[in-house]
Chain A
Amino acid sequence: MAEKLSGTRDAYGETLVELGSENRNIVVLDADLSPSTKTILFAQKFPERFFDVGVAEANLVSVAAGLASAGKIAFASTFSVFGVEKTLNQFKQSVAYPNMNVKLVTTHGGISVGEDGSSHFCIEDIAVMRSLPNVTVIIPADAVETRAATRAIAEKSGPVYMRLSRPKTPQIYEDGYKFQGRDLKFEIGKSITLIEGGDVTILATGVMVAESLQAAQELARRGIRAGVVNFHTIKPLDKEAILRAAANTGAIVTAEEHTVLGGLGGAVAEVLVEEDPVPMARVGINDTYAESGPWRELFAKYGLTSADIVKAAEKVLKRKAK
C-alpha cells in the first residue's frame, strides 16, 4: 500500500484559520517562524489578531499569558526546541501555574527536523511538559488527527502543549478522522486503540504510531498478535488503557520520537510498576544527541523504525514467556 504523506503543521495552520472565523477571541502569536509553523495562514486572514514578537520566545509565552488573562484564547507557536527549552520558566510561571488559556503549539518536534541537526532537535519536551501541573500534553499521530486536536484544545480552557512535525508524515487516518472506515472522536486524555492485541501491545505517540502499525503487520507475519494504541494525549495519561493492554496482552512496548527518559515510556512505566508490572520495553532515542541528516535515515540510525519496534516486541515477549 502506497504511503500517503501529509503535513501536521499545514493541518494546524489551516485549522487555525477555521477557528479564527468561528471565534473572534482566538489570537495567534509567533516568534518570527510563521512561514514554517504555518501560523502565517492565520496572519494573512486575521492580521489584527496575529502578533509576531520577533525572535523572542520568552516574550512570546508571557505576552500570550497576558492576552489570555484578558479573555483571549492565545495560540503561541515556534519550533519545539525554542518554545519549550527557552521558555520553561515563562511557561511555568506565566501560563501553567496560573492556569492561563494558552496553547503552546510547536512544530519541528523530535529529530525528524532532519538536516538542521541537534541544535534544532527537541526530544525532551514530553518529559519536561508532563512534569508541570495543569498542563495538557498532546502529540497528534498525523495531519488528520492534528485538525481534530487543534479544535479540541481550542475548546478546552487552560494550558496546553502540543507538538507537531517538520516533515510531511505518514497519514494513518482517512480524511474526516476515520480509521479503516471507523469514525473517531478526538477526546483529550482518551487513547485510541487501532489494533486489538493478543500477545503484546504497542503504545505509541506522534509519528511513531505509523511505525507501530507497520511493526504490527511485520509481527503478524511472524505469528505475533500485536496491538497498537495511539496515545495522542500524554497528559492526562489514559491509565485505564495502559492497564487494559497489560491485562489483555501481558507485554508492553512504547514508541516515541523522544528520549527514552521521562517521555511516554517513562509515563507508562510509572503506571505499570505501581499497578501491574508486566514486561515492557521502550523504543525511543537512547540518551544521546542525534545529528544532521534526512529524517528517515536518522530514524534508522537512532532506533526509531518499525524494525526497532519489532525487535523490542520480540525481546519483551521472551521475558513474558519466562
Chain B
Amino acid sequence: MAPFNQKMAPHDLKLINKLSEIALNIRKNSLIMTTKAGSGHPGGCLSCADILAAIYFHQLRYDPEKPDWEERDRFILSKGHAAPALYAALAMAGFFPTEELLKLRKIGSILQGHPDMRKTPGVDASTGTLGQGLSIGVGMALAFRLDNRPNRVYVLLGDGELDEGQVWEAAMSAAHYRIDNLTAIVDYNRQQLSGCIEKVMNLEPIGEKWSAFGWHVIKIDGHNMKQILDALDEAERVRGKPTVIIAYTVKGKGVPMLEKSFLSGDCKYHGTPLSEAELAKALEELHG
C-alpha cells in the first residue's frame, strides 16, 4: 500500500462528506469502546473526532504497513485521555485490525488506557500525563529541521491541559526556535474534569496568550470540516513561527444527551462512560 496522503484532494464536498463520515465512525467507536471497557473519557473523544478525521484521512503522511517509516509525519495526542478516538482513527487507517478496539484497557491489550508508542502501532508518543506532548513535538520538529527533512508534527492539546506550566515552556521554546514544521491544535471544548474552564481556570484571552508567546493563531469551529482543512493548510504555509489552531468544539459532540449534560455544567461524562442502555440510545441519536 502506498503511503497514505490525500493532501492533493481539493476541499470539495465529496472530501468533506467523506471525512465527516469518518468522524462519525470515530465517535461511534469511542462510545462503544469506553462503555465496553467500563471506563474512559467519552466527552473529550467526541469533541476532537472531526479534527482526528481531518488529520488521519487528509493531512498526515504515513504508511500503516510501516508504522515506523522515517518519512512519516508525527501526530501527538497530548490530551492522552482521548485515546479511544485516536485508536478508532488508527484502526480505520489500517494500523491494526478493528477487532482490537474492543480490547481497550483490558490486560494484554495493545490499547492501553492512554497512548503508548511501544504497544500500539501508529502511536507516535506515549502520553497521558498532561502537558508533555507539545515539548515532545518541539523536539521532533527540531530534529526534522536539523536533518532538512520535510516531516511535519501535529500536537493535539486539551484546553484543561493548558493549565500545565510545561505547555507554556514548550510554547515559548517553539517560538524562540522559530519552528514552523509544528502545528498545535487546542480542542477548546471549554470543559475540564471538575467543571467548566472559566470556573476552574480561566484561559481567556486564549488567542492573545498564544499570540503573545509568538505563535500564529487561527480560530475555527472545530466541527466544521472545511474550516479544519483550511486551517491545517494555512498552518503549513506560515513561515518562521509555529501555528496554533484553536478549535472551538462541543464536549460530547454528536450525542444530544451528552451535549446537554456538559452544557448544564455537569462534567460526569468527562471521565465516565455511558451505560449499555445509554449507549444504545446514543448510537441511535448519533449525528455529525
CB within 8 Å of B: which residues of A?
27, 48-49, 51, 53-54, 56, 58-59, 61-72, 74, 89-90, 93-94, 97-99
Give the bracket for the number of chain B residues in contact with chain A: 20 to 34
What are the residues of chain B within 8 A of A99 when measuring CB–CB? 118
From A58, A64, A70, A72, B169 is in contact (CB under 8 Å) with A58
- A89 to B166 CA separation, bound complex (whole angstroms): 12
Interface pair A69/B136, CB less than 8 Å apart: yes
Q: Determine if B173 is an interface residue (Cβ-Cβ < 8 Å).
A: yes
Give, as a whole number of angstroms, the nearest-CB distance from A151 to chain B: 22
Q: Decide yes or no whether B143 CB sits under 8 A from chain A.
A: yes
Give every chain B residue within 8 A of A68 (Cβ-Cβ).
Answer: 139
What separation, in Å, do the CA atoms of A49 and B138 have in the docked complex?
14
Query: Does chain A have a CB within 8 A of B142?
Result: yes
Chain A residues with Cβ under 8 A from B117's Cβ?
69, 98
A71 to B147, alpha carbons, bound, how many Å? 10
B136 and A94 contacting across the interface, CB-CB below 8 Å: yes
Among the listed A48, A58, A61, A94, which residue makes an inter-chain contact with B126, where contact means beta carbons less than 8 Å apart?
A94
Query: Are B146 and A49 within 8 A (Cβ)?
Result: yes
Complex: how many Å from CA A114 to CA B112?
45
Residue of B nearest to A51 (CB): B142
Q: Cβ of A66: which chain B residues have Cβ within 8 Å of it?
A: 125, 135-143
Asked if B187 is an interface residue, CB under 8 A from chain A, the answer is no
In the assembled complex, 15 residue pairs joining A and B whose CB atoms fall closer than 8 Å, in A order, are A27-B142, A58-B131, A63-B135, A63-B136, A64-B139, A65-B139, A66-B143, A69-B140, A70-B74, A70-B144, A72-B146, A94-B125, A94-B135, A98-B117, A98-B118
Question: B-side interface residues toward A, CB under 8 Å?
Answer: 70, 74, 116-118, 124-129, 131-132, 135-144, 146-147, 151, 165-166, 169-170, 172-173, 176-177
Chain B residue with minimal CB distance to A64?
A: B139
Across the A-B interface, how many residue pairs have beta carbons closer than 8 Å?
A: 104
A302 to chain B, nearest CB (A): 34
Besides the contacts A27-B143, A62-B135, A70-B139, what 20 more A-B pairs have beta carbons closer than 8 Å? A51-B142, A51-B177, A54-B169, A59-B170, A61-B135, A63-B138, A63-B173, A65-B135, A66-B137, A66-B142, A67-B139, A70-B74, A70-B140, A74-B139, A90-B135, A93-B132, A94-B132, A97-B126, A98-B125, A99-B118
Closest A residue by C-beta to B76 = A66
**Quick check: B124 and A69 within 8 Å, CB to CB?**
yes
Query: What residues of B have a CB within 8 angstroms of the CB of A56 in the complex?
Result: 166, 169, 172-173
Closest 10 A-B residue pairs measured CB to CB? A66-B139, A62-B135, A70-B143, A59-B169, A56-B169, A66-B136, A63-B139, A67-B139, A58-B166, A66-B140
* With known contacts A62-B166, A71-B143, A54–B137 Cβ distance under 8 A: no
CA distance A62 to B146 in the complex (A): 18
The answer to whether B173 and A59 touch across the interface, beta carbons within 8 angstroms, is yes
Enumerate chain A residues within 8 angstroms of B176, measured Cβ to Cβ: 54
Q: Is the interface of A mostly helix, strand, loop or mixed?
A: helix
Kindly state the separation between the CA atoms of A129 and B143 in the bound complex, as whole angstroms: 27
Complex Cα spacing A94 to B80, Å: 13
Question: Which residues on the B side are within 8 Å of A65 (C-beta)?
Answer: 125, 132, 135-136, 139
Complex: chain B residue closest to A74, CB-CB: B139
Chain B contacts for A67, CB-based, 8 A: 139-140, 142-143
- Taken together as a complex, chains A and B put the C-alpha atoms of A27 and B177 apart, in Å, by 15
Chain B residue contacts of A70, Cβ below 8 A: 74, 139-140, 143-144, 147, 151
Determine whether the beta carbon of B126 is less than 8 Å from that of A93. yes
| Other-chain residue from B70, B135, B140, B144 in contact with A58 (beta carbon distance below 8 A) | B135
Name the A residues within 8 Å of B116 (CB-CB). Answer: 98
Of all chain A residues, the one with the shortest Cβ separation from B80 is: A93
Tell me if B136 and A62 are in contact (CB < 8 A): yes
Contact between chains at A53 and B169 (CB < 8 Å): yes
Name the distance in Å between A247's Cβ and chain B's nearest Cβ: 39
Is A71 touching B70 in the complex (CB atoms < 8 A)?
yes
Q: Given A93-B132, A98-B118: A63 and B125 within 8 A (CB)?
A: no
Q: Which residues of A contact B128 (CB under 8 A)?
A: 93
Inter-chain contacts of B74 with A (CB < 8 A): 70
CA distance A54 to B175 in the complex (A): 13
- CB contacts (< 8 Å) of B169 on chain A: these are 53-54, 56, 58-59
Q: Tell me the bound Cα distance from A176 to B254 in angstroms.
A: 68
Distance from B146 Cβ to chain A, minimum over Cβ atoms (Å): 7
Q: Is A62 a contact partner of B170 (Cβ separation < 8 A)? A: yes
Closest to A56 in B: B169
Contact: A89 with B135, CB < 8 Å? no
